[in-house]
Amino acid sequence: MSLSNPSQVLLRNSELLIAEAPLLINLPEDGFIDALIALNKPESIHCFNTNYIDYQAITKKNDGAKRQGIHATFASTYQTKTCHDLVIIAFPKSKAELTFTLAMIAHCINETTKILLVGEKKGGIQSAPKLTKDLLSCCQKVDAARHCLLFAGLFQPEKLSVVFNLQDWFKKYQITVEGVELTIASLPGVFSQQKLDTGTALLLSNLPDKMSGKVLDFGCGAGVISCFIGKKHIDTKLYLLDVSALALTSAQESLALNGLSGQVFPSNSLSDVSEKYQHVVSNPPFHQGVKTHYEASEDFLAGINKQLNKQGSITIVANSFLRYQPIMQAHIGNTRVIAKGKGFTIYQAQLSSK
């Protein structure tokens, strides 16, 4: 894989990368780790990723992260006893997630730790100095190239407590849909963090009248769909899948707040799906970072037939411009449009007899 533009910008500034125990936060596996080792030969490299796809790529490239000195973590929060002298953060799509990330690592950095923020200009990284003015000192732009910006600063430890409490970061809100009352908890960076989005609201109003058995919530986000189904259809067993560790932790919290249980697990599309389900429901994601990304959702629709029970059904909501119906028709069976509204369409298909 060729180096991404942000990685190329980092390597243009090699003097900033000298460190014994760097922490890379949400950087992809694009060859940058190899370049960093060749440049500096650090004692250890710690890779923290909230995206399961990136984590999988790092562990696969580095023999399950067992290559000497490389430590990979997939989680919603980072815990370590190492004090890092360099932290490189891929600027997140959600600005609130940046503050969350800096608070999360306060326990493992000090006032001499270099903090580098890198990202594409269209991702909003220009706002980095303003966003970090109360957390970082001397956060300054040090490079601009390849449509990317690089900022460097130092941590101000007195500004954040080293005791990080995850509960403080959940946004919680109540919704009532079809007479079902729910409390939803969501961490920064999770889709629809503070209110029920229009597409999901339409989906919840157009699910099958009767549901029982195993239900897969693909791209579960904060768990709104599963919580609704679990409350309304008590004979269901919930399975919640997402690529984001922040989403999975949010979904687990939402289930608990509503007195529900479910199996919550990460997967790259259907990579880690092994069960067969009676119902699949989804507001499938089509954004990866700041880019529009359809492949995972299309792979999901093309392959989900293998995970459906006989007469199993799938119901999804999608932006009306997305051409999902032909894919569902070809791979699952007869696909109906059962509702439209506010730019969204609800598709429902039942597995064809084999």
pLDDT digits (tens, 9 = 90+) for 75-95: 999 999 999 999 999 999 998
Give the pLDDT confidence score for residue 191 in this predicted structure. Answer: 82
**DSSP assignment of 153-204, as one string?**
EEE-GGGS-S---GGGG-EEEEEEETTEEEEEEE-TTSSS-SS--HHHHHHH
Residue 57 has pLDDT above 50, yes or no: yes
Q: Are residues 159 and 174 in the same domain?
A: no
Cβ–Cβ under 8 Å, residues 210 and 154: no
- Of 137, 165, 193, the residue at which a domain comes to its end is 165
- Of 134, 165, 196, the residue at which a domain comes to its end is 165
Give the pLDDT confidence score for residue 61 in this predicted structure. Answer: 83
Q: Are residues 136 and 191 in the same domain?
A: no
Q: Are residues 190 and 281 in the same domain?
A: yes
Q: Are residues 145 and 234 in the same domain?
A: no
Task: Label residue 267 exposed, middle or buried (CB < 10 Å: 0-12, 13-18, 19+).
Answer: buried
CA 87: distance to chain centroid?
A: 20
Q: Are residues 46 and 146 in the same domain?
A: yes
Domain boundaries, position 330: 170-350
Q: Are residues 208 and 144 in the same domain?
A: no
Q: Are residues 243 and 334 in the same domain?
A: yes
Q: How many domains would you assign to the chain?
A: 2
Backbone angles phi, psi at 232, to 5 degrees: -85, -35
Instruction: Please give the residue that has the higher pLDDT: either 40 or 261.
Output: 261
* Residue 300, token pair as written in the block: 């999901």
Q: Are residues 271 and 342 in the same domain?
A: yes
Residue 291 has pLDDT above 90, yes or no: no
**DSSP assignment of 41-100, as one string?**
--S-EEEEESBHHHHHHHHHHTTTTTSTTEEEEESSS---S---SEEEEEPPSSHHHHHH
Cβ–Cβ under 8 Å, residues 332 and 301: yes
Residue 134 has pLDDT above 70, yes or no: yes
- Of 111, 133, 165, the residue at which a domain comes to its end is 165
Query: At 247, which helix (H) or strand (E)?
Result: helix 245-257
pLDDT-derived band of residue 295, with 50, 70 and 90 as boundaries? confident
Cβ–Cβ under 8 Å, residues 80 and 72: no
Residue 134's CATH number: 3.40.50.150
CA 100: distance to chain centroid?
A: 14
Q: Are residues 159 and 233 in the same domain?
A: no
Residue 289 has pLDDT above 70, yes or no: no
- What one-letter code names the amino acid at 284? P
Residue 151 has pLDDT above 70, yes or no: yes
Give the pLDDT confidence score for residue 40 in this predicted structure. Answer: 87
Q: How many residues does the chain have?
A: 354
The owner of tokens 């880019």 is: 291
Give the pLDDT confidence score for residue 156 in this predicted structure. Answer: 81
**Distance (Å, rounded) from C-alpha 259 to C-alpha 340?**
32
- Give pLDDT tens digits for 189-206: 998 767 899 999 999 999
pLDDT-derived band of residue 336, with 50, 70 and 90 as boundaries? very high
pLDDT-derived band of residue 352, with 50, 70 and 90 as boundaries? confident
169 contact partners, CB below 8 Å, separation of at least 6: 100, 103, 187, 188
Q: Are residues 147 and 213 in the same domain?
A: no
Give the pLDDT confidence score for residue 16 in this predicted structure. Answer: 97
Cβ–Cβ under 8 Å, residues 200 and 231: no
Percent of the chain scored above 70 by pLDDT? 94
Q: Are residues 211 and 304 in the same domain?
A: yes
pTM: 0.94
Q: Are residues 309 and 190 in the same domain?
A: yes
**Distance (Å, rounded) from C-alpha 343 to C-alpha 317?**
10
